[in-house]
Amino acid sequence: MQHGGPPPSAAGIDPADLVALRDRLGHAGLDDHIFRVTETIGAGMIDPLRLPLVRQALRARGDAVSTLALLLVYATPVAEKDLRAAVGDAASDLLIRCGIVAPAEDGEVVSRLRVTPFGPLLIAADHPDAGPEAVMTPGGTTSLLANLIPDEISGRVLDVGTGPGTLALLAAARGADAVGTDVSERALAFASFNATLNGLSVDLRLGDLLAPVAGEQFALVVSQPPYVVQPQEMEHVTFMHGGTRGDDLALALAAAVSDVLTPGGVALLKFDMPLADGETATEHVRAVVGPAVSVAVFEQPGAGFHLQAVSYAALHDPTLGADFAERARMYCAHFAGLGVRRAAATTVVLVRPADAAAPRFTAGVAARALSDWDALRRRLTALEAAVQDDDGVLGIRVRAAEGCRLAVEREVDGADGERRYFARFEPGAAVSDTELAPIEAALLQRVGGGALVADVVAGFADEIGAEPAAAAEPVLNFVRENVARGLLVLADQ
């Protein structure tokens, strides 16, 4: 069935009753834990392929939370008596009254909308096949941004393209004065409902990108703008399509966002960037954002184009029928026509320096360094320190990143053979293994568990029998490059 229809409505309902509904669903078990069961089934496959197995697993469990997950998350009709047994009559009636659930044939109920647990929140959104104005359910990429929102916030936070309000509501739940903007009236209707459902208050504004907040400033801006490529002949789907290249809208936002950042403010933008051979995501962003901001691009390889084409086509047509096949072909042909070879999945972090005269940094960083706000903040502080002028960098103390081991390798049969040096980390560490030039290995050893950069220069000058001035350049380059790649951190971090 094609989903859609009116957004949920709180009209005539006491807001306290909606909060009680949220609590009732939570008490019945509808929280993030259910995803540990369902999202490991066929992980990585497109949803229509794995959903039969997810449904089977939930039916086999047969408990209250499985009934709710089947109905509200996985678009599966359930017996009305099972819903009533799971959450009681009052909550069941309210789900029907606000338009989330509708009675169907044979004593069953169906969900018209999707209700997803997201941390402390419940978020009503559309099923993805609800047409060109579908409102996006929070997903993995939303969680990635959510992890980067500080646990406690006192300032103003802006969520651009808020959709059903997910990130703005999360920021509000963590203490922020939150504003959510969206170009879609339908999205804002969902966001408003979700604010009531979660007993939170957010300021919701309609309009294109930053237009609704022109002249205002925020300590934190978060956004997951639409970033799917739009083939010319395909109709525009507001939550997905970000322009011909896909990243057009996101880059327009990146270029303008410094206007709404407070001094010291940070913008976190999540989107995919298609890249031509030889092009890097970091250079691409730096070229559009101008000199006002520092740039750190946290990158991981994106899905290949065939997989992307299939995933996007499946959002349009989850039946995987003729429409799916035609759209998959259109996406593939479009990617081929763009002349790009790969897409990078990026989180772009833009910082407006607190001191307007401070130098700006530009860094490309592996995405796994980006676990939470504290890790991000530490990395930004280190990047700020390492981009200072030479005297500034000589005055900082650095150390090797946690868990770094210096490994020396030599061919087994090469008694006098060349040695190779590596900085190695445990699997899953925030920094990846890196081969080092011999001089870098020597400097890494000097830095060890913590050293003033000026002292590293003096020791290195002694070692090579040079004046400190001559030893400074290679040491400063070593510090700057390796702070950027995370091998070195500030000693007090």
Ligand X SMILES: C[S@@+](CC[C@H](N)C(=O)[O-])C[C@H]1O[C@@H](n2cnc3c(N)ncnc32)[C@H](O)[C@@H]1O
Nearer to ligand X, 195 or 385 (CB): 195
Cβ proximity to ligand X, 138 vs 246, nearer residue: 138
Kindly tell me which of 169 and 487 has the beta carbon lying closer to ligand X: 169
For ligand X, the closer of residues 192 and 482 by Cβ is 192
**Parallel, antiparallel, or unpaired: how do β-strands 177-182 and 203-206 relate?**
parallel
Smallest gap from Cβ 417 to ligand X, in A, equals 52
User: From CA 271, how far away is CA 258, in angstroms rounded?
Assistant: 18
Select 99 or 225, whichever has its Cβ closest to ligand X.
225
Least distance from C-beta 33 to ligand X, angstroms?
20
Of 96 and 144, nearer to ligand X (C-beta) is: 144
Window contacting ligand X (CB under 6 A); options: 5-13, 196-204, 218-226, 453-461: 218-226
Q: Are 104 and 155 in contact (CB under 8 A)?
A: no
- By CB under 6 A, name the one of 39, 63, 185, 208 that touches ligand X: 208
| Smallest distance from ligand X to CB 445, Å | 44
Question: With CB under 6 A as the contact rule, which of the stretches 47-55, 154-162, 273-281, 433-441 interacts with ligand X?
Answer: 154-162
Contacts of 260 (CB under 8 A, 6+ apart): 158, 210, 213, 214, 216, 217, 218, 221
Q: Which of 58, 136, 219, 487 binds ligand X (CB under 6 A)?
A: 136
302: Cβ contacts below 8 Å, ≥ 6 apart: 272, 308, 342, 343, 344, 345
| # residues near ligand X by CB under 6 A | 22
Contact present, 146 and 197 (Cβ < 8 Å) = no
C-alpha 79/C-alpha 85 separation (Å) is 10
* Residue placing its CB nearer to ligand X in the complex, 168 or 451: 168
Shortest separation between residue 338's beta carbon and ligand X, angstroms: 20
Nearer to ligand X by Cβ, of 240 and 444: the residue is 240
Closest approach, Cβ 270 to ligand X, in A, equals 7
Under rule CB under 6 A, residue 142 binds ligand X? yes
Among 116, 224, 258, 294, binds ligand X (CB under 6 A): 224
Q: Which stretch binds ligand X (CB under 6 A): 33-41, 224-232, 372-380, 477-485?
A: 224-232
> Residue 309: which of 317, 301, 299 has the closest Cα?
317
Minimum distance of ligand X from residue 204's CB (angstroms)? 12
Least distance from ligand X to the Cβ atom of residue 14, Å:
28
| Closer of 141 and 381 to ligand X (Cβ) | 141
Strands 218-223 and 114-118: unpaired
Q: Which residue is nearest to ligand X (CB)?
A: 161
Of the two residues 169 and 351, which places its CB atom closer to ligand X in the complex? 169
Restricted to residues 158-187, the positions that interact with ligand X (CB under 6 A) are 160-163, 166-167, 181-184, 187
Q: Find out whether 347 and 269 touch, Cβ atoms under 8 Å.
A: yes
User: Residue 160 or residue 344: which is nearer to ligand X going by CB?
Assistant: 160
| x/- track of binding to ligand X for residues 225-264 (CB under 6 A) | xx-----------xx---------x---------------
Name which of residues 9 to 48 contact ligand X (CB under 6 A): none
149-151-153-156 Cα dihedral, nearest 10 degrees: 20
First to last CA, the chain: 54
- Kindly indicate which of the ranges 155-163, 306-314, 336-344, 399-407 contains the residues binding ligand X, using the contact rule CB under 6 A: 155-163
Q: Minimum CB separation from ligand X for residue 181, in Å?
A: 6
Q: What is the smallest separation between the CB atom of 377 and ligand X, expressed in angstroms?
A: 21
- CB nearer to ligand X: pick between 187 and 487: 187
Closest separation in Å from C-beta 72 to ligand X = 17
Q: How far is the CB of 455 from ligand X (least distance, A)?
A: 46
Stretch that binds ligand X, among 52-60, 156-164, 343-351, 479-487 (CB under 6 A): 156-164
Q: Which two tokens stand for residue 310?
A: 């299939």
Distance CA 140, CA 228 (A): 16
Q: Are 269 and 253 in contact (CB under 8 A)?
A: yes
Which residues of this chain interact with ligand X, rule CB under 6 A? 136, 138, 142, 160-163, 166-167, 181-184, 187, 208-209, 224-226, 238-239, 249
